[in-house]
Amino acid sequence: MRTFLEYLRNAWDSLNAHRVRSFFTILGIVIGVTTIICIFTIIQSINRYVEGEFSGLGASTVYVSKYPWVITGNWWEFRNRPPITLREYRALREQSVFARWISPLIESFRTVQYRSHSLEQVYTVGCNEEYPETANVSVSLGRWFTHLEVEHARPVVVIGAHVQEVLFGLENPLGKRIKINGLPYKVVGVLEKRGNFFGFNMDNQIIIPYTTFRTFRLSRRNIAIALRVSDPNQLDELKDEIRGILRRVRKIPPTEKDNFSINQQDMLTQFYHQLTGTLYLVVFVVGGISLIVGGIGIANIMLVSVTERTREIGIRKAVGATRTQIIVHFLSESILISLVGGFLGIVAGVLVSQIPLNLMKLGASVSPGTVLIGVGFSSLVGILSGLYPANRAARVNPIEALRYE
Amino acid sequence: MSSKTQPPADRLPLIHIADLHKVYVLGLTRVYALRGIDLDIEKNEYVAIMGPSGSGKSTLMNIIGCLDVPTRGRYFLNGKDVSKLDEDELARIRNKEIGFVFQTFNLLPRATALQNVELPLFYAGISAARRRQLAREALEKVGLADRINHRPNELSGGQRQRVAIARALVNNPSIILADEPTGNLDTKTGAEIMDIFDHLHQQGNTIVLVTHEKFIADHAERIIHLKDGKIEFEERPQVAGGTVQ
């Protein structure tokens, strides 16, 4: 080990003796490693962000709806399904044992007004008092509406932070009456600020009791149903139970497939991983190619260096260097080149990846794995590209080498 | 002048060469560089090898220096048959037993005098501190104690050759092999270098000198004259080991 450090120091001296050449050789590796580290960091940061977003859907919540979240196959098959209605919500509510919390979800976009301020296309959810449990949301101000308010169809509303800002500014919104598509509702709470979900402003929404949701033929309208178990391990039991109840309610014969979908966060995460898996592969190939090009650069320069230093090799052999010692001598130069390149590449990769991540307003995550990949790949390239030139050096005939001009 | 029969190993001279042949194959032609050399060199001898170019003296020198192996014949160095060794074994022998001094000095241009002298010790696996100490001592012996951190291009020709001699000495080798050591030096500097060799000989070193200059060869105790790959004759100069001005 101590001897290898001396070889590395020797290698450093020879790189120093040809600074320009070493710079360009190292640059080849830097570009390759930067590419890999940069894209890896970006993907990992996006991954972390996306997983964070998906987790908002709740790991222990399932959503019953007409369409599956990830459609594979023929869309028309799903289009002909009957809508999920409040009748099925009631059936699930009465019969499900595993669902600890359950809420219908009626969604629409409404115009909201308060005095002279108005906001159009506000995402409006009609649900019951158990919705905050299923969706992992809470109020930062005021309260949620109660069971009784839902039962008696009281015109109360919980508004998002963005809606509060636009309609009320600094004014206290609690107890104020706003108009939703012209109908008056009393503000009882303000949702915690949640930011964006894939570009959709989660704070630009209002939540009202589903019983007050004014819509065309409410009983036939397609809704979704959110169900949450108390113990995430019971998720599969819940899904089986839902299937049983809905098939019974809908009187589906055993030979026919389900005509409803039970969705959960997993499906999105899996689908997302499937997508990024391909992306990873592309990055590996692109980064790999640039590293191979860098490696060829090293091999090329090392071959030139071996030829140029034929006499030096002759001298070293004359005073007793064995083939192995000559190989280690030249290998340590190529390894040093790639290690320096790898290190600079990691630094550059992390720095460069900040630019797009900042534009996307994402925090960068640099994992030790990424660094390991950078160091690993570059040392591999260093060894592989140095082997052939080092072997050539070791095979130099000392007698001819000493005469070499 | 030499023994065709092989003496028992414990009685072998330092260098025992018997019926040595070297044939080079250059394309379709065969070049007979050595055609049966018999030569013994005892410990602490001072031998010069002379001959015109093409006489085979470089080939003989390379084989004695373990840079090359003979096509036929035996070469015993220190009682060990080195004519059949592989490349790495030869490298180890060169490292321990042989100190080279070349006409063109052959120093590493980017290394300091000290680092150049340390080189054989590095390949012998000696620790950095011990290396530095031994190299310093060797440089002191050749009178370069004040030049140890100079690079070859900061030294005169004579000083460079002294660094090379220090490098040849530093491993305490069995033989010092000098190939035209004064060939690139002016007469006065050459004489100084020859003084060093004479001095080293007096201290008990075995020296083999290859030259084509009679007045340089006259420093040796024995002069071997080569011609066409064979030993033509051998002579003993009048002033053995002395200085000829």
Tell me the per-residue pLDDT of A82-95, one tens digit each, with 9 for 90 and over: 999 999 999 999 99
Spell out which residues of chain B touch residue A316, defining contact as CB-CB under 8 Å.
119, 123
**CB of B57 less than 8 A from some CB of A:** no
- Residue burial A170-198, b: 16+ Cβ < 10 Å; e: rest: eeebeeeebebeeeebebbbbbeebeeee
CA distance A403 to chain B (A): 9
Lowest mean pLDDT, pick from A145-154, A228-237, A239-248, B6-15: B6-15
Question: CB contact, 8 Å: B91 with chain A?
Answer: yes
Compute how many other C-beta atoms are within 10 angstroms of the C-beta atom of residue B140.
13
CB of B96 within 8 Å of a chain A CB? The answer is yes
- The token duo for A278 is 């391909």
Question: 């104690």: which residue's tokens?
Answer: B145
Q: Name chain B contacts of A323, Cβ cutoff 8 Å.
A: 87-88, 91
For residue B12, what pLDDT is reported?
82
Contacts of B167 (CB under 8 A, 6+ apart): A319, B99, B107, B116, B117, B119, B120, B138
Adjacent-strand bridge partners of B179: B210
Which H helix or E strand runs over A90?
Answer: helix A86-95
**Contact state of B120 with A3 under an 8 Å Cβ cutoff:** no
- A194 versus A162: the higher-pLDDT residue is A162
CB contact under 8 A, B106 and A13: no
> Residue B188: pLDDT band by 50, 70, 90 thresholds?
very high
Each domain of chain B, given as residue ranges in start order, spans 43-69+85-235
Q: Report the C-alpha gap between B64 and B179 in whole angstroms.
A: 12
CA A178/CA A157 separation, integer angstroms: 9
Span A22-28, mean pLDDT?
90
- The pLDDT, as a whole number, for residue B115 is 94
Which stretches does DSSP call E strand in A19-93? 61-65
The Cα A292–Cα B82 span in angstroms is: 44
- Structure tokens, A261: 């979908």
Q: Which of the four pLDDT bands, split at 50, 70 and 90, describes residue B8?
A: low
| Contact assignment for A320 to B87 by CB distance below 8 Å | no
pLDDT at position A56 is 66
* Mean pLDDT (whole number) for A275-286: 81
- For residue A72, pLDDT over 80 is answered with no
| B237 in contact with A, Cβ within 8 Å | no
Regarding predicted confidence, which is higher, A186 or A15?
Answer: A186
Contacts of A318 in chain B (CB under 8 A): 65, 67, 94, 100, 106
pLDDT band at B16 (very low <50, low <70, confident <90, very high): very high
Q: Is residue B100 a contact partner of residue B121, using CB atoms and an 8 Å limit? A: no
Q: Global pTM?
A: 0.72
Which fold would CATH assign to domain B43-69+85-235?
A: Rossmann fold (3.40.50)
**Of the given ranges (A24-33, B61-70, B150-159, B205-214), which has the lowest mean pLDDT?**
A24-33
**Nearest CB to B94: which of A3, A6, A318?**
A318
For the sheet with B80-81, list strands across it: B29-41, B15-26, B72-77, B80-81
Q: How far apart are CA B112 and CA A39, in angstroms?
A: 46
Report ipTM (2 d.p.).
0.91
Closest Cα in chain A, distance from residue B30 (Å): 18
